[in-house]
Structure 1
Amino acid sequence: MSIPDTDIRQAALLAMQGGTLLAAGDVAGAEASFQLALAHHPDDVVALSNLAWMRGQTGALQDAEAYYRRALAQSPDDVHLLQNLAALLMQCRRLAEAERIKRRVLALAPELFSAWSNLGVLLACAQRETEAESCYRRAIALDHGYANARYNLAYLLLRQGRLTEGWQMLEARPQPSAFADYFRFPRWQGEALAGKSLLICPEAGMGDMLLFCRYVPLLRQLGAAKVSVLCHPPLKALLQTLPGIDRVLAIGEAVPAEGWDYWVAVLSLPGLCGTTLETIPVPVPYLQAQPSAADAWAARLSPASQHTPLRVGLAWKGNPAFENDGERSLPSLDVLAPLGAVAGIQFLSLQKGAGEDEMSAALSLAGGAAALGDMADTAALIASLDLVISVDTAVAHLAGALGKPCWVLLPDYRADWRWMAGRSDSPWYPSMRLFRQPSLGGWAPLIAHLAGELERWQRSGD
């Protein structure tokens, strides 16, 4: 049965109105307009595609997929719709279906550089890195300045240990423009530092600052007269223990707009310093717990002796806002329950934020997190431990920077480039051991293996 032209025109007007409302942030109004459009014309592609996107944003992925497929039934060669559906299927880990759609996009638009980069991301997630690299390079060949492809290629190269080109490509990442707008002195681009002063500025999470603050002593060796750091507030007291640091400022404080010769984004430091696998600065530990705080924790815990248990700190969740947190974080503390069967171990919580209040009947925690304030407090507790077991979060970087033995639990799917590919150790942190999920994923087999390794470690006292 055909739809009257008046209904089709009314649906188009309502869909246009919905788009205007959505752009203005009126989600409820946009939803109502799109639904009214479909009441007039159930096959209106604009309304269907917008509702699909909106459902995807709220996590209603099945509804989003249904709307995308209805829209594509009317417009099967719409490259934008196809790419959105493929992205949704990737989010659902339906990689084979997503790959078929991405390759259809390229059959329709073989010169579309974004489509080549998007296919590269999928192949990298599937650990088909040679194919992924070819896709990224094809995208760059089509548009040499295409930042997304260069950024994606950086992650692949760095994960493989091909650091020189990786650092170059990493400069295509979204840049912290607020610093350039605020400071009245230039960004450091590798100029000679003799007699100069430098301010290191943060990017992303605290883990990156903990990883790359190790460059402060090297910058001093390169001739910098003064090196300061602007950091996340929980890091301020801790970073004051850095060798060679002159001043530590926290985000939110009154930061002078002048007073240094250069500023530099922290993720640019390895590339500007020409870091290779052989030249990673590794004077570990390069951070220290405050002696008074460490002594307080030592007094709070029972004195270590051959008759007292070994102390192991646990961190099982990262920041929920991180893009891959669903993969890197454990669903709950209960996942670590098999560790509770290992005799002679006292477990303490290092978990702050998400998961901090969790308890497990099978894994007893002897306190810890409730008494922790900033990362200097966490460092003081770690100083009193024998081992840290952590997912990929700032606690792992902190333990590594302190030179504390640390076992890091890594997901199989989209493990972070900082842990590189296929390694059980980290060139960044000599005291670290990496435990990776099996290729089929899932935490249960990894935790079972971890419990066996913990028992062997406890027996050996190593």
Structure 2
Amino acid sequence: MRQHILPEATALSAAGQFADALALLTPLVGENACPEDAEHADALNLAAMCAMGAGRPAQAQALWLRCMQAKPDFADAYLGLGAMLATLNQLAEAAEVYGQLAALRPHDADVHSNRGLVLHRLGRHDAAETAYRTALALRPDHVDAHYNLGIVLHEQRRLDEAQAAYRAALAANPQFAKAHNNLGNLLRECGRIEDAEEAYRQALLAHPQYPEALNNLGALYRSLVRLAEAELACRLALQIRPAYAEALNNLGCVLTELKRLPEAESAYRQTLALRPAFADAHYNLGCVLHAMDQPVDAEAAYREALRLAPNRVEAANNLGCALLAQARLPDALAAFQHALTLRDDIAETHFNIGSIVKELGELEQAEAAYRRALALRPDYGDAKFRLATLLISMGRFEEGFLLYECRYEMVGFAHHATQSMLQCPRWRGEPLAGKSLLVWQEDGLGDMLQFGRYLRLLKAQGAAHVAFACTAPLQRLFTEVDGVDAVLSHDEAAARAGAFDCWTSLLSAPLYLGTTPDTIPPALRVALEPSRVEHWRARLASLGAGHRVGLVWKGNPKHHNDAHRSLPSLNTLAPLWSVPGVKFVSLQKGAGEDEALSFPASLPILPLGADLADFTDTAALISQLDLLICVDTSTAHLAASLCKPCWVLLPARDVDWRWMHERDDSPWYPGTVRLFRRGLDEPWLAVAERVRQACAAWFGA
């Protein structure tokens, strides 16, 4: 009977009819161990394999154990049980069975190779390496042993040995796609990009429908900024395996670099739908949302990334950035400080801390943070620039203005481009006697009005000819400025630059002329055009008797800090309307200008912004006012240069360095400028109320 059952059961098993085969074998092997088990070892082994195939692992294990107990040298039982336990992730038990099998078959290379796999999965790298090397000593061309040894060595960062193992696997089987792919990963880590690309290509030649190799090739192309090829590789990987989370995440990274942010967001969200616990995808999604100006959603993504990967320092740092974008300074500071506990050598984190504590008024801490960022990365332009402006605002002009020259090293700054545009040397403080000097406007209108005071000092250095290149709104005004021999447009100056001995920027003058807070030269002297003065005197006569106060409530909307420095609307200044005997004049141009036009006729405000042609016009109008109240914009510098009382409303965040710290006056405009600083949590209306009270006291109302 036995001779008929075994062949029939074997045939059923081979056909995948495991339950039928097991039912056929059960009468032969019985339910429990018996003295005949040794004679039925092959039947027990076959029954165990059928039980496993039928999804009955406990029964399979019991049958193999009976077989092994009845016949301890029956190697096939150890082999089957070891494989099943490894499949069920019962790795310690599998390792023990493979150890017993290796003792039974010490010369079987496959046994040692399989034992190495289990030991590797247990994290026992040394033991796994020994098992693989034993297999290779028995069979030097064992492809899997070479390949898996390469993986163990790769994980231990023994890269030269790992590379040799992968290459040995490929020597034994040149079509081994996985070995080509892993070799590509290793070569990329070693910086051998061209060799890595070739390895991935060989993997795809051996196995064209290999999504991992395509994804890795896409990542390599992304690192080379070959973004079109990177996108194609990722999409091909996804065609083969649509639910490939790594490829979707990689595609999102490529789309991010292509600035196709909504598509990148979609790719990351698809990734997370497939694998909600993918920390990298949460982090990447946060980066895209932050770039799309969605800091609240970015915060949530970063927090999830940190929950899944608590030591991900980039996520901690970027969480701080998202909180900073929401003006939640204490929360942002806490996030950055947490990032430092994870890793304290990231220059960006120290820079961000410096920026926050500066806003919180902790200037010495800000200085220390910026200096730490620069110690970690001496070429960190933003940190050097922020340290420069911090020191200037603290009155430490010598080091501050020296560091401020870093703007010529920063590729994103207009100043960096000026050097290659102008075909003459940059002045660095050399004697100017007898030389021609081109003064080039690189900065804003307000900067030129504030630092225009240095033109006469440059001329006084003995310069034979001083030409000032500036934008159209300044040209008529600076024609009459002391020390200026010629006013040019930028195009004219650039074309003639080679004829000058040197060029400079007005904001470099304080450094090379040795300015300190005690030696700031007098403000720019602005010449008034009598005809324009008379014109504006006549226009203002329509207001009737009363004090005339000019208003400017918005700056250039393209300014990096405009969201903080400009007022929401003219209505923000409503407390001023109650000051008796005051007539208001709008000097607002551009953004916000139309607000004055739509004010009720009952309100004494005269909208003149649209009629101001340039700064010469504006100067003539300001000369007829009693006071200018404005936000931090160029008009403040013009009024102060005219020695007209000027009250400047300063924002709570990112106050410009020129207004210094913790003072309500300005050494650049002594006796003329009064500063009203907004507190961190103070509404603009509260600032306007303080201005109203000052205005009432000023005019004795």
Q: What is the TM-score when the length of structure 1 is the normalising length?
A: 0.91
| Residue identity matched to 2:694 | E
Deviates more, 1:392-401 or 1:307-316: 307-316
- Aligned residue for 1:258, secondary structure, equals helix
Q: Deviations over 1:98-141 (max 9, x none)?
A: 11221122222222233222211111111111211222222333
| Residue identity matched to 1:396 | A
| Residue identity matched to 2:656 | D
Aligned counterpart for 1:66 among listed residues 277, 300, 307: 300
- Aligned residue for 2:431, secondary structure, equals coil
Aligned residue number for residue 441 of structure 1? 682
- Aligned residue for 1:255, secondary structure, equals helix
Q: Which has the larger radius of gyration?
A: 2
Structure 1: gaps (5+ residues): none
Aligned counterpart for 1:328 among listed residues 565, 571, 588: 565
Q: Provide the C-alpha distance between the structure 2 equivalents of 1:63 and 1:205, rounded to a whole number of angstroms.
A: 35
Give yes or no for the alignment of 1:221 onto 2:221.
Answer: no
Question: Structure 1 residues 28 and 135, CA, compared in 2 at 3 Å: closer, same or farther?
Answer: closer
Aligned residue number for residue 281 of structure 1? 521
Q: Provide the C-alpha distance between the structure 2 equivalents of 1:161 and 1:51, rounded to a whole number of angstroms.
A: 42
CA contact (8 A) 2:395 2:517 kept: yes
Q: Deviations over 1:310-354 (max 9, x none)?
A: 211100111222222222211111111111111221111111121
TM-superposed deviation, 1:252: 5.5
Q: Provide the C-alpha distance between the structure 2 equivalents of 1:145 and 1:58, rounded to a whole number of angstroms.
A: 28
Deviates more, 1:180-189 or 1:251-260: 251-260
Q: Provide the C-alpha distance between the structure 1 equivalents of 2:441 and 2:509, rounded to a whole number of angstroms.
A: 11
CA contact (8 A) 1:12 1:44 kept: no
Give yes or no for the alignment of 1:240 onto 2:474.
Answer: no
| Residue identity matched to 2:434 | G
CA contact (8 A) 1:233 1:251 kept: no
Question: Structure 1 residues 253 and 280, CA, compared in 2 at 3 Å: closer, same or farther?
Answer: same
CA contact (8 A) 1:318 1:391 kept: yes
Q: Provide the C-alpha distance between the structure 1 equivalents of 2:301 and 2:696, rounded to a whole number of angstroms.
A: 52
Aligned residue number for residue 256 of structure 2? 22
Deviates more, 1:33-42 or 1:125-134: 33-42
Aligned counterpart for 1:425 among listed residues 642, 648, 665: 665
Give yes or no for the alignment of 1:408 onto 2:645.
Answer: no
CA contact (8 A) 2:287 2:298 kept: yes
- For the aligned residues, what is the CA RMSD? 2.4
Q: Deviations over 1:355-387 (max 9, x none)?
A: 111144585421211211222222221122121
Q: Provide the C-alpha distance between the structure 2 equivalents of 1:128 and 1:401, rounded to a whole number of angstroms.
A: 32
CA contact (8 A) 1:336 1:363 kept: no
Q: Provide the C-alpha distance between the structure 2 equivalents of 1:142 and 1:317, rounded to a whole number of angstroms.
A: 39
TM-superposed deviation, 1:43: 3.5
Give yes or no for the alignment of 1:93 onto 2:327.
Answer: yes
Q: Provide the C-alpha distance between the structure 2 equivalents of 1:393 and 1:17, rounded to a whole number of angstroms.
A: 44
CA contact (8 A) 1:294 1:383 kept: yes
Q: Provide the C-alpha distance between the structure 1 equivalents of 2:453 and 2:536, rounded to a whole number of angstroms.
A: 26
Aligned counterpart for 1:32 among listed residues 232, 256, 266: 266
| Residue identity matched to 2:574 | A
- Aligned residue for 2:244, secondary structure, equals helix
Q: Provide the C-alpha distance between the structure 1 equivalents of 2:697 and 2:322, rounded to a whole number of angstroms.
A: 43
Question: Structure 1 residues 437 and 24, CA, compared in 2 at 3 Å: closer, same or farther?
Answer: closer
TM-superposed deviation, 1:76: 2.1
Aligned residue number for residue 12 of structure 1? 246
Question: Structure 1 residues 252 and 65, CA, compared in 2 at 3 Å: closer, same or farther?
Answer: farther
Question: Structure 1 residues 75 and 456, CA, compared in 2 at 3 Å: closer, same or farther?
Answer: same
Q: Provide the C-alpha distance between the structure 1 equivalents of 2:484 and 2:502, rounded to a whole number of angstroms.
A: 15
- Aligned residue for 1:302, secondary structure, equals helix
Aligned counterpart for 1:136 among listed residues 350, 366, 370: 370
Question: Structure 1 residues 295 and 182, CA, compared in 2 at 3 Å: closer, same or farther?
Answer: same
CA contact (8 A) 1:383 1:404 kept: yes
Question: Structure 1 residues 285 and 212, CA, compared in 2 at 3 Å: closer, same or farther?
Answer: closer
1:259-408 equivalent positions in 2, closer than 5 A: 259-282=499-522, 284-302=523-541, 308-359=545-596, 360-361=599-600, 363-408=603-648
Q: Provide the C-alpha distance between the structure 2 equivalents of 1:418 and 1:143, rounded to a whole number of angstroms.
A: 27
CA contact (8 A) 1:8 1:40 kept: no
CA contact (8 A) 1:280 1:428 kept: yes
TM-superposed deviation, 1:159: 1.3
- Aligned residues, how many? 453
Q: Provide the C-alpha distance between the structure 1 equivalents of 2:536 and 2:288, rounded to a whole number of angstroms.
A: 49
Q: Deviations over 1:379-399 (max 9, x none)?
A: 221122121111111111111
Q: Provide the C-alpha distance between the structure 1 equivalents of 2:357 and 2:679, rounded to a whole number of angstroms.
A: 18
TM-superposed deviation, 1:207: 1.2
Q: Deviations over 1:211-258 (max 9, x none)?
A: 111100000111111112222322222222211112222345673142
Query: Per residue, is there more helix in 1 or in 2?
Result: 2
- Aligned residue for 2:423, secondary structure, equals coil
Q: Deviations over 1:165-200 (max 9, x none)?
A: 111221223351221111111111111111111122
Q: What is the TM-score when the length of structure 2 is the normalising length?
A: 0.61
Structure 2: gaps (5+ residues): 1-211, 213-237
CA contact (8 A) 2:453 2:524 kept: no
| Residue identity matched to 2:272 | L
TM-superposed deviation, 1:438: 4.0
Q: Provide the C-alpha distance between the structure 2 equivalents of 1:397 and 1:293, rounded to a whole number of angstroms.
A: 19
Identity %: 42
| Residue identity matched to 2:532 | A
Q: Provide the C-alpha distance between the structure 1 equivalents of 2:268 and 2:517, rounded to a whole number of angstroms.
A: 54
Give yes or no for the alignment of 1:458 onto 2:692.
Answer: no
Deviates more, 1:35-44 or 1:234-243: 35-44
1:173-192 equivalent positions in 2, closer than 5 A: 173=407, 174=410, 176-192=415-431
- Aligned residue for 2:406, secondary structure, equals coil
Question: Structure 1 residues 58 and 29, CA, compared in 2 at 3 Å: closer, same or farther?
Answer: closer
CA contact (8 A) 1:334 1:363 kept: no
Deviates more, 1:106-115 or 1:337-346: 106-115
| Residue identity matched to 1:262 | C
1:156-167 equivalent positions in 2, closer than 5 A: 156-167=390-401
| Higher normalized contact order (CA 8 Å, seq sep 6+, divided by chain length) | 1
CA contact (8 A) 1:136 1:153 kept: yes
Give yes or no for the alignment of 1:108 onto 2:342.
Answer: yes
CA contact (8 A) 1:148 1:172 kept: no
Q: Provide the C-alpha distance between the structure 1 equivalents of 2:261 and 2:439, rounded to a whole number of angstroms.
A: 40
Deviates more, 1:168-177 or 1:63-72: 168-177
- Aligned residue for 2:676, secondary structure, equals strand
TM-superposed deviation, 1:297: 1.3
Q: Deviations over 1:11-65 (max 9, x none)?
A: 2112222222232233343333333323322333443333322222332221111
Q: Provide the C-alpha distance between the structure 2 equivalents of 1:220 and 1:49, rounded to a whole number of angstroms.
A: 56
Question: Structure 1 residues 363 and 409, CA, compared in 2 at 3 Å: closer, same or farther?
Answer: farther
CA contact (8 A) 2:296 2:322 kept: no
Q: Provide the C-alpha distance between the structure 1 equivalents of 2:471 and 2:316, rounded to a whole number of angstroms.
A: 40
Q: Provide the C-alpha distance between the structure 2 equivalents of 1:21 and 1:130, rounded to a whole number of angstroms.
A: 41
| Residue identity matched to 2:634 | A
